[in-house]
A and B are shown apart, each in its own frame.
Chain A
Amino acid sequence: MNITLFSVVVFAGSLLAGFLGALTGLGGGVVIVPLLTLVFGVDIRYAVGASLVSVIATSSGAAAAYVREGFSNIRIGMFLEIATTFGALLGAYLATRLHTSTIGIVFGIVLLISAYFSSRQQPHPDPMERPDPMAHRLKLEGTYPTAQGEQHYRARNVPLGFGMMFGAGTLSGLLGIGSGAMKVLAMDQAMKLPFKVSTTTSNFMIGVTAAASAGIYLSRGFLDPGLAMPVMLGVLAGSMLGAAVLVKARTKYLRLVFGLVIVALGIEMIFNAVKGRL
């Protein structure tokens, strides 16, 4: 395939991934790597590099809208970014050391797990649980707007949340994904923060986390301009388009279909990795 045709086709695929990712809230980054490796035969290291770049673009683009709404908590985000950035350094180093089929298997497992969590109704956090004194000292609290006025909240289980964030950062650096689902899990389920605060703060953190691995990717030659160009522009345009039509769309069936696509890609990734084709 010549470079012009390749760029156009990859741009179109990335546009669709970004569009569906924004509509379903699952993020476009998670399908970019399988798309590039399984469909276009791209080496997983180039794929992970291009995907990470698109993650920074969509996160920063979307965060601009979220911070204005007053849900994201900048202190909680910054505190947890200590964990995610150190995790991201570790993940990026692992990406430069591990065999491509190992990365492929981990990627496949993460795809299957994220499809599982997106299909499940999250249990509501128990408000009776004891507040964490550490959260008060670290100022991990805030208020958010609700229909009944400003609602106060404070983080629980800070060490657990911090540890999960380190894991989320490691996966982000290893796989070139935003790992937004795991970040939300750490804040919403472990730290018992309100769901809306968790999702917006997570989005706010994704760009900084990804930037921590991007430097290592750059110095190891993972960031190919010819590949990153159509992927970044496609995902960015697709996610902006998705955010614009989000209010009108009925996303329930779309989420289901996209979830099934992710399961299929996860199985395909693991299968190809085991066969040594990645």
Chain B
Amino acid sequence: MITDSQVEKSIGILLRTGVLLAAAVVLFGGILYLVHRGSGHADYHVFRGEPRDLRTPSLTIREAFTGNPEAIIELGLLLLILTPIARVVFSVVAFARERDTMYVVMTLLVLAVLLYSLLGS
């Protein structure tokens, strides 16, 4: 039997690990980005939107492993977005262990919204 405080402690560790991992990947990609493109011109005045390769999780991951600095940063951002999603997955399991069906259903609904946004929108 796991207690509420153990669940809360695990959630805390999960969140902190996710954020620090994401920050490390963003920092690594950021250094590469500045080394390669640092002398270029910064222009964000006109919105063009990101290229197709950086708009979906699967293409971003593929690009990141080719060493594209911008894709590595984007991969870090993806890890960051996945951190709260992992927390929700974790909560589904915790509520299921407590046999709290009502909260399992609610949490699955939240999870469905998050996955729709990330993969289906």
B97 within 8 A of A: no
Range, interface on chain B: 35 or more
With beta carbons under 8 angstroms apart, the residue of B22, B42, B85, B109 that contacts A211 is B85
Range, interface on chain A: 35 or more
With beta carbons under 8 angstroms apart, the residue of B42, B46, B54, B117 that contacts A212 is B117
**Contacts of A32-89 to chain B: CB distance below 8 A:** 36, 40-43, 45-46, 53, 56-57, 59-61, 63-65, 67-68, 70, 74-75, 78-79, 81-82, 85-86, 88-89
Q: Are B19 and A57 in contact (CB under 8 A)?
A: yes
| Residue in A closest to B22 when the chains form the complex, CB atoms | A57
With beta carbons under 8 angstroms apart, the residue of B47, B74, B106, B113 that contacts A225 is B74
Q: Are B55 and A42 in contact (CB under 8 A)?
A: no
Q: Are A86 and B42 in contact (CB under 8 A)?
A: no
Q: Which residues of B contact A45 (CB under 8 A)?
A: 47
Which of A183-191, A226-234, A243-251, A266-274 is found at the contact surface with chain B? A226-234
Q: Which residues of A contact B54 (CB under 8 A)?
A: 221, 223, 225
Q: Are A221 and B80 in contact (CB under 8 A)?
A: no
B110 within 8 A of A: yes
Query: A216-258 interface mask toward B, CB cutoff 8 Å, 1 = contact, 0 = none?
Result: 1011111111111110110010000000000000000000000
Q: Chain B's nearest CB lies how many Å from the CB of A91? A: 11
Q: Which residues of A contact B102 (CB under 8 A)?
A: 138-139
Question: In the assembly, what is the distance between CA of A88 and CA of B110, in Å?
Answer: 11
Q: Chain B's nearest CB lies how many Å from the CB of A15? A: 13
Q: Are A226 and B70 in contact (CB under 8 A)?
A: yes
| Residue in B closest to A92 when the chains form the complex, CB atoms | B117
Q: Chain A's nearest CB lies how many Å from the CB of B20? A: 8
Q: Chain B's nearest CB lies how many Å from the CB of A85? A: 4
A117 within 8 A of B: no
Q: Chain B's nearest CB lies how many Å from the CB of A151? A: 17
Q: Which residues of A contact B119 (CB under 8 A)?
A: 215
A208 within 8 A of B: yes
| Residue in B closest to A72 when the chains form the complex, CB atoms | B8
B93 within 8 A of A: no
Whether A89 touches B84, Cβ cut-off 8 Å, given contacts A3-B40, A7-B34, is no
Whether A215 touches B44, Cβ cut-off 8 Å, given contacts A3-B38, A57-B80, is no
Q: Which residues of A contact B91 (CB under 8 A)?
A: 74, 78
A6 within 8 A of B: yes
Q: Which residues of B contact A214 (CB under 8 A)?
A: 81, 117-118
A2 within 8 A of B: yes
B121 within 8 A of A: yes
Query: B46-84 interface mask toward A, CB cutoff 8 Å, 1 = contact, 0 = none?
Result: 111111001111000000000001110110011011011
A4 within 8 A of B: yes
Q: Which residues of B contact A225 (CB under 8 A)?
A: 29, 33, 50, 54, 69-71, 73-74, 77
Q: Are B12 and A7 in contact (CB under 8 A)?
A: no
Q: Are B73 and A216 in contact (CB under 8 A)?
A: no
Q: Which 10 A-B pairs have the closest CB atoms?
A: A221-B49, A215-B117, A215-B118, A225-B73, A6-B42, A4-B38, A221-B50, A207-B84, A43-B47, A42-B44
5 A-B pairs with C-beta separation under 8 A: A3-B39, A7-B30, A7-B34, A67-B12, A216-B121
Footprint of B on A, CB under 8 Å?
1-7, 36, 40-43, 45-46, 53, 56-57, 59-61, 63-65, 67-68, 70, 74-75, 78-79, 81-82, 85-86, 88-89, 92, 138-139, 207-208, 210-216, 218-230, 232-233, 236
